[in-house]
Structure 1
Amino acid sequence: MNRFTRAAVAAAVVCALHGAAQAQTILRWGDVVGGSHPQVQMIDRVAAEVKAKTGGRVEIQAFAGGQIGGSRDMIEAVANGSQQLVTEGAANFGAWIPSISVVEAPYIWRDPQHLIKALNGPLLAQYNEQLVKARGMRILGAVYYGTRHVTTSTKAVNTLADMKGLKLRVPENDVFKAMAESWGARPTPMNFNELYLALKQGVVDGQENPLPTIKSGKFHEVQKYLVLSGHIMTPRLVVVNDATWQKVAAADRKAVEDVLKAQMAWADSQIIAQEKTLVDEFKAAGVTVLQPDVAEWRKATLAAVPPKFEAKWGKGTYESIANMK
């Protein structure tokens, strides 16, 4: 091999090594929630730490506030691989795992700790296996989104009877629609990123979401009443396109998983902390806070919703999860 050939080979090796060093996996992570919400901050925190720990080999790009679509759009995009990551409510994956919507059922969780413990253990692993097989999506973890309450624009809701006929925005899934119907309300499924304007313009009479989401979405600016119904504790799932995930080097996947676990715990703590202070903050902003008889709401909801979905969830599933230690 003459010196010119050796030089050419050496240059080719250097270029190849440089290309390998620069090889990068880009994960586009979407969320319908925006603003300063802790689960949006979580994405940014994960992205920064993962970039550092992988030497830039894995780059996470955040698209919050519904920038790249609504809930259904982004779940479909993750399934087909055009988007790689999404944070979404568990019930919204019910199209592929019918039984999973039980974890977002009304009054199933005792407290946030009950939810967090149950959904980062064997129960989640069971749903994960089904989702990978059904649609090629993998659950990386579950986060506590908060305890959901009703807000209304003009109508004070002091008893459950006051919900009759109220046009209530709900997420686009059957459990929430059935719940609203059990209250006598008129459920109106709608993309989250359309909600603020719909409330402002009176397209819907009210909505239901956790307190931190009400704050980050600025819904308290266009809602007069906050009704502390506490009807659902929502788990949200961080889900990745599995084909893309399997192409990431094992060491880098481990780095992402470790960072995500720590930052999900951080986000959970932020949500729980905000829930302790936001009622007073909303009162100070002029929102009228109402405390209904939750037992009345619970009775009406549980008489209608679990029986309606028992075939989908499995007989006794609601009760077994509710009674988990």
Structure 2
Amino acid sequence: MNRTKAFIACITVSLTGIAVSGCASASEAAGDDCGEHTIKIGHAIATTSPLQVGAEEFQSIIEEETDGRLTVEIFPASQLGSETDMIEQVRSGALDIVLASPAVISNTYPDAAILAMPFVIDGDSEAEQYVSLQTAAASDVVAEMTEEMAAEQGMRPVDWTWWYGNRHITNGVRAIESVDDLAGLKLRTPDAPIHFLALEALGASVTPLAFNELYLALQTGTVDGQENPASTIETTKLYEVQDYLAVTGHMTQAEIALFSESIWQTLCAADQEAITSALQAAGQVQSEIAIAENAAALDRLEEAGMQITVLDQADLRAATEGAAEKWAADNPGFSLERYEAFVAAQS
């Protein structure tokens, strides 16, 4: 079977719902015959974001390493739809890679919610948290989740550590000086129930919306506010429609680079290794930029006119205490044991 036929066979398997493990024969048939392939990668964030820089770095690395045999097309800023849309495209084999949040992935694979729990990543700064995340990503529990997601969901996490940042709350109604000030605020979240957990514990009400709908919703007052890392608030110009920013860090987020398992199994081993290495190297570059930009963006947002307050971390943690246990009780597909193993794996 040649590579084209192997690719079609795997896509057909995925689309008809047959276990993707059946595509292993396609990988074996490909053997060492590493042919040409265009890798399509999508994400929902602006072209001015560190995430886009990382996608471009991946493009540069993989095209250079393979002498142009593997090429990359990047589709940023929700050009292919929402994160949910792109995840489904990856599962079906219509898209090679999506850079997606664990929260949205958890709609399909419940244990991805582990990485979206309040204050789950250890560290007093984003730089320290990034190290903790990298340590956990190299653990047995994450390796187990990787293979499970590939086999059961048709999407392979090739890199778990594309740093996005600590999410903070903005709004256009009032300054947030304490947890009590969040009561009743209508905040937009991504369309993933795990995002509701911390915000509802803090007293806010939530409205799920796709990211590409957010600016207009804030501008028209459909929602009072939203939550995102500082650099995203800046690059998407949310300061134009939001007056107040509360530094909460209630959720730490890294994007996961998900590769379509049906396509992955048509690639030769050398290309799989090259893609893995390139995604990890590009993720490191963009993560370092994101960490620096999130810190610098707070100063620039203040200069742009936003009123910034810093909430007491002890109060925030107290308000969200027991979140993982509550989530596990309400969501039987979520493994509290894995959550605890992930937390322990950071040290």
Q: Confirm or deny a common fold (TM above 0.5).
A: yes
CA shift for structure 1 position 241: 0.7
CA shift for structure 1 position 213: 1.4
Matched AA of 1:141: D
The equivalences for 1:222-261 within 5 A come to 222-261=241-280
In the alignment, which residue of structure 1 is the partner of 2:149?
131
**Aligned mates of 1:318, 1:253 — CA distance in 2:** 29
Bigger shift: 303-312 or 44-53?
303-312
Per-residue CA deviations over 1:21-57 (Å, capped at 9, x if unaligned) read 9952112111001121111111111112211221222
- Tell me: CA distance 1:263–1:292, structure 2 relative to 1, closer, same or farther (3 Å): same
Per-residue CA deviations over 1:131-178 (Å, capped at 9, x if unaligned) read 111121111102121011101112211121211111100111111112
Task: Give the TM-score of the pair, scaled to structure 2.
Answer: 0.83
CA shift for structure 1 position 316: 4.4
Bigger shift: 160-169 or 120-129?
120-129
**Is 1:152 matched up with 2:164?**
no
CA shift for structure 1 position 304: 4.4
Matched AA of 1:128: T
In the alignment, which residue of structure 1 is the partner of 2:318?
299
CA shift for structure 1 position 238: 0.2
The equivalences for 1:62-81 within 5 A come to 62-81=74-93
- Tell me: CA distance 1:315–1:52, structure 2 relative to 1, closer, same or farther (3 Å): closer
What SS does structure 2 have at the residue aligned with 1:247?
coil
- Tell me: CA distance 1:315–1:242, structure 2 relative to 1, closer, same or farther (3 Å): closer
Matched AA of 1:32: A
1:179 touches 1:305 (CA, 8 Å); kept in 2? no
**Is 1:219 matched up with 2:238?**
yes
In the alignment, which residue of structure 2 is the partner of 1:284?
303
**Is 1:314 matched up with 2:326?**
no
1:153 touches 1:225 (CA, 8 Å); kept in 2? yes
1:35 touches 1:217 (CA, 8 Å); kept in 2? no
The equivalences for 1:81-230 within 5 A come to 81-110=93-122, 111-142=129-160, 143-230=162-249
CA shift for structure 1 position 89: 0.6
**Aligned mates of 2:138, 2:74 — CA distance in 1:** 23
- Tell me: CA distance 1:135–1:222, structure 2 relative to 1, closer, same or farther (3 Å): same
**Aligned mates of 1:55, 1:73 — CA distance in 2:** 32
Per-residue CA deviations over 1:264-296 (Å, capped at 9, x if unaligned) read 111111111112322111111111101122221
- Tell me: CA distance 1:242–1:308, structure 2 relative to 1, closer, same or farther (3 Å): closer
What SS does structure 1 have at the residue aligned with 2:95?
coil
**Aligned mates of 1:134, 1:22 — CA distance in 2:** 26
- Tell me: CA distance 1:322–1:23, structure 2 relative to 1, closer, same or farther (3 Å): closer
Unaligned runs of 5+ in 1: 1-20
Q: 1:61 aligns with which of 73, 82, 85?
A: 73
2:118 touches 2:323 (CA, 8 Å); kept in 1? no
1:97 touches 1:127 (CA, 8 Å); kept in 2? no
Unaligned runs of 5+ in 2: 1-32, 123-128
Matched AA of 2:314: A
- Tell me: CA distance 1:23–1:303, structure 2 relative to 1, closer, same or farther (3 Å): closer
What SS does structure 1 have at the residue aligned with 2:118?
coil
Q: 1:24 aligns with which of 36, 60, 65?
A: 36
In the alignment, which residue of structure 2 is the partner of 1:39?
51
Question: What percentage of aligned pairs have identical amino acids?
Answer: 30
2:188 touches 2:207 (CA, 8 Å); kept in 1? yes
Task: Give the TM-score of the pair, scaled to structure 1.
Answer: 0.88
**Aligned mates of 2:337, 2:63 — CA distance in 1:** 44
1:175 touches 1:305 (CA, 8 Å); kept in 2? no
Per-residue CA deviations over 1:86-144 (Å, capped at 9, x if unaligned) read 00011222234212201111011112221222124433211111111112111110212
**Aligned mates of 2:198, 2:178 — CA distance in 1:** 16
Q: CA RMSD in A?
A: 1.9
Bigger shift: 127-136 or 73-82?
127-136
Q: How many residues align?
A: 305
In the alignment, which residue of structure 2 is the partner of 1:8?
none
Bigger shift: 213-222 or 143-152?
213-222
